[in-house]
Amino acid sequence: MAAVNAAKADCLVPYLQALPKITGETVVLVVGKAASSQAVIANYCLGSVRGLCIVPQGQSANTSLKVIEATHPVPSNESRLAAQAAFELVKSLGPDDRLVCLISGGGSALMSAPLPNMPFDLKLKVHQELLASGATISELNTVRKQLSLVKGGRLAKLCAAPIENFLISDVPGDEIEFIASGPTVPAYTNQLDAMEVLSRYEIPSSEALRPWLTEAASAAPAPEDPCFERVRTTVVAAPSQSLKAAELVLISQGVDCLIMGDAVEGDSEIVARVMAQTALWQKRHGQLKRPLCLLSGGETTVRVTGDGVGGPNSHFALCLLDALGGEDGIAAIVCDTDGVDGAAEIAGAYLDSDTLRRAQNLGLDIKEAIKRQDAHSFFSALGQSVIPGPTGTNVNDFRAILIDTQS
- pLDDT of 396 reads 85
User: Torsions phi, psi of 125, nearest 5?
Assistant: -65, -45
Distance CA 368, CA 385 (A): 18
Sequence-separated (6 or more) residues with CB below 8 Å from residue 119: none
Q: Is residue 186 within 8 Å of 216, Cβ to Cβ?
A: no
Distance CA 308, CA 381 (A): 14
Task: Report, as ranges of residue numbers, the positions in the chain whose pLDDT lies below 50.
Answer: none
- pLDDT of 273 reads 98
- pLDDT of 393 reads 86
**Virtual CA dihedral for 268, 187, 198, 136, nearest 10 degrees?**
0
Domains of the chain: 7-237 (3.40.50.10180), 240-403 (3.40.1480.10)
- pLDDT of 138 reads 87
CA of 14: how far to CAs of 11, 164, 181, 394, in Å? Answer: 7, 14, 25, 20
- Give the chain as a 3 state SS string: CHHHHCCCHHHHHHHHHCCCCCCCCEEEEEECCCHHHHHHHHHHHHCCCEEEEEEECCCCCCCCCEEEEECCCCCCHHHHHHHHHHHHHHHCCCCCCEEEEEECCCHHHHCCCECCCCCHHHHHHHHHHHHHHCCCHHHHHHHHHHHECCCCCHHHHHCCCCEEEEEECCCHHHCHHHHHHCCCCCCCCCHHHHHHHHHHCCCCCHHHHHHHHHCHHHCCCCCCCHHHHHEEEEEEECHHHHHHHHHHHHHHCCCEEEECCCCEEEEHHHHHHHHHHHHHHHHHHCCCCCCEEEEEEEEEECCCCCCCCCCHHHHHHHHHHHHHCCCCCEEEEEEECCCCECCECCCEEEECCCHHHHHHHCCCCHHHHHHHCCHHHHHHHHCCEECCCCCCCCCCEEEEEEECCCC
Sequence-separated (6 or more) residues with CB below 8 Å from residue 93: 25, 27, 99, 159, 160, 161
Can you give the pTM of this predicted structure?
0.87
- pLDDT of 407 reads 56
